[in-house]
Amino acid sequence: MRTNLVRWTVAAALLCGVSGISVSAQEQTASPLVRQLNNGNWLPTPEAEALRDELFYQRAVHAYMTMLPALNVIGMRDGSEAAFGKGYNVLPIWKDRMDARAWVPTPNADVIYSMNYLDLKETGPLVIAAPPNVIGMFTDFFQRTITDVGAVGPDRARGGLYLLLPPGYDGEVPKGYYTFTSPTNNVFLFFRTIMGKGDDGPDPAPAVALAEQTRIYPLWASEKDVKPMQFPNGSGKRIDMMYPVDNSFWTKLKAFVDYEPVAAIDPELRGVLASIGIVKGQPFNPDPKQQELLKKAVETAPKMILALRQLGRPDGRNRYYTDRQYENVWGGATAEWLQDSYLDVNQRATYFQVAYSSAPAMVMRTLDAGSKYPTTLRDADGDFLNGSQSYKLHLPANPPAKLFWAVTAYDITDGTMPETPQLLPSINAFNKVATNTDGSVDLWFGPQKPAGAPDANFIQTVPDRNFLATVRLYGTGTEFYDQTWKPDDLVKVK
């Protein structure tokens, strides 16, 4: 009886237009989403258009962050080929070391670089004769490691013949090679060779001679058809090998998507790219409004990544020590940025904003073979390093680096070397570094050399610009892993 009375009361109220009872009735009969979304009605057209644009922008930011590894190496390739030429046989070598005139993310001035960009779609399978004692890798163009080369690679620093197969290759595969299939048609070759110790500091000559033993040729080419190797010298040249900072980011990405096989990118990420108009084999013609949003994304996404680096990880996995400021740029993940239960997309983006190339040898705790890169953004007081301030860095005696140690300053935004009259903002074990009586080393940073600092122990910085400092340990020893050897924090010098 009471139920019928309630129904009659509600019906009567609706007929009479009593609003309070009307809303209550609608709440009883409408689902939560109907109530949330405009009471079950379409949105006003201006609101719908604004939301669609916002989603486009958010997808563009996501695409930027996930595709940055590819655009990072594409920028390096395009800059290199513009300066030195293109071809499997063109292997630029920085024969007099790489300095601040080369715009590359966190380059290492303390080894000799050899870098090439192979196109397996154009050449078919390629053979690379790697010299002995190379520290190197092959990666696909998402900078996923195909294989290490050298002490941690299958050749175990003896050198050997590597065979790279293009995606989907179904031809004959001869024996006698270290054979790997690349997920992308494009492959990045990155070799580092160790300098000797000369009378006045590092001697690049033996490292260059070793790098020039590299040979690259198509698997099925006869000897007479193989192009002779070219080893242009990259040193001393102004060269821009950075990724784009304007809408060419998207046009280069579109060209990459068109050139690579579908399987190179997982379907969900392809869906993200499709939502901003980038689909393999289809025209990419963003309208003026979309071009504006793409421009906004390519300008804002780098700031977001910079903010992640600036504010640090809430979980603290990026900290090497409990009592030092040094960070692990992999954030405790694998070389592929895999954490225990997820892919660390934020940490990966922060890495490729300032660096390139990631390989197991750089992450695994290999003894006397791999490399480690403790990096600091802050001084002992927790303040960001600033090029207007002078600092002192104390390295305890006997750094655990079987091959060599080095310390380098970099710009925080993109990992380029800060350009000063010094040009090489780096000091390594091959330099004539002044040492203390106990074997420890003190290094200085600043816009001008502090009084009493030896010339060989000074790294010049750019005033009013933040910088970061990286300690490199090649051939890392157990003392680093068990933390019985730790670099001191940078300390302000007044």
> Would you state the structure tokens that stand for residue 12, as one six-digit string?
């009567």
> Would you state the structure tokens that stand for residue 275, as one six-digit string?
């939502």
Q: Amino acid letter at 258?
A: D
Check pLDDT > 70 for residue 23. Answer: no
The dihedral sign for the CA sequence 470, 473, 479, 482:
positive
The pair phi, psi for residue 165, each rounded to 5°, is -105, 140
Q: Give the Cα separation of 312 and 328 in Å (integer).
A: 11
Q: What is the mean pLDDT of residues 33-39?
A: 92
> Would you state the structure tokens that stand for residue 222, as one six-digit string?
């006869």
| 42-100 residue pLDDT tens | 999 999 999 999 999 999 999 999 999 999 999 999 999 999 999 999 999 999 999 99
**DSSP strand pairing (160-165 vs 178-181):** parallel
- The enclosing H or E element of 306 equals helix 288-311
Check pLDDT > 50 for residue 453. Answer: yes
- Identify which has the larger pLDDT, 22 or 415: 415
CATH of 345-493, one of 3.40.50.920, 2.60.120.600, 2.160.10.10, 1.10.760.10: 2.60.120.600
pTM: 0.91
Check pLDDT > 70 for residue 1. Answer: no
pLDDT at 25: 66
Coil/strand/helix, residue 27: helix
pLDDT at 11: 43
Q: Kindly write down the DSSP assignment for every residue of 384-397, as one continuous string.
A: BPBTTSEEEEEE-S
Check pLDDT > 90 for residue 273. Answer: yes
Computed on alpha carbons and rounded to an integer, the radius of gyration of the chain in Å comes to 28
Residues 233 and 94: beta-carbon distance below 8 Å: yes
- The enclosing H or E element of 63 equals helix 45-84
Q: What is the mean pLDDT of residues 11-33?
A: 60
Q: What is the mean pLDDT of residues 454-467?
A: 97
pLDDT at 24: 62
- Identify which has the larger pLDDT, 444 or 28: 444
| DSSP at 459 | E
- Report CA-CA distances (Å) from 212 to 83, 91, 125, 230, 422: 19, 9, 21, 9, 28
Domain 85-240 has CATH 3.40.50.300: no
| C-alpha closest to that of 488 among 443, 458, 447, 455 | 443
**DSSP strand pairing (458-460 vs 441-446):** parallel
pLDDT category at 19 given cuts 50, 70, 90 is very low
| 179-199 residue pLDDT tens | 999 999 999 999 999 999 888
Q: Give the Cα separation of 339 and 324 in Å (integer).
A: 23
Domain boundaries, the chain: 2-32, 46-71+244-311, 85-240, 345-493
- The enclosing H or E element of 20 equals helix 19-29
- The enclosing H or E element of 116 equals strand 112-119
**Rounded percentage of the chain residues whose pLDDT exceeds 70:** 95
pLDDT at 82: 98
Ordered alpha helix ranges (H), 321-403: 345-354
Check pLDDT > 80 for residue 206. Answer: yes
| DSSP at 417 | P
**Rounded percentage of the chain residues whose pLDDT exceeds 90:** 91
Check pLDDT > 50 for residue 350. Answer: yes
Q: What is the mean pLDDT of residues 231-235?
A: 98
Check pLDDT > 60 for residue 274. Answer: yes
**Which CATH class name applies to 46-71+244-311?**
mainly alpha
* Half-sphere exposure in the Cβ direction for 393 (13 Å, CA): 30
pLDDT at 8: 42
**DSSP strand pairing (178-181 vs 126-130):** unpaired
Check pLDDT > 90 for residue 301. Answer: yes
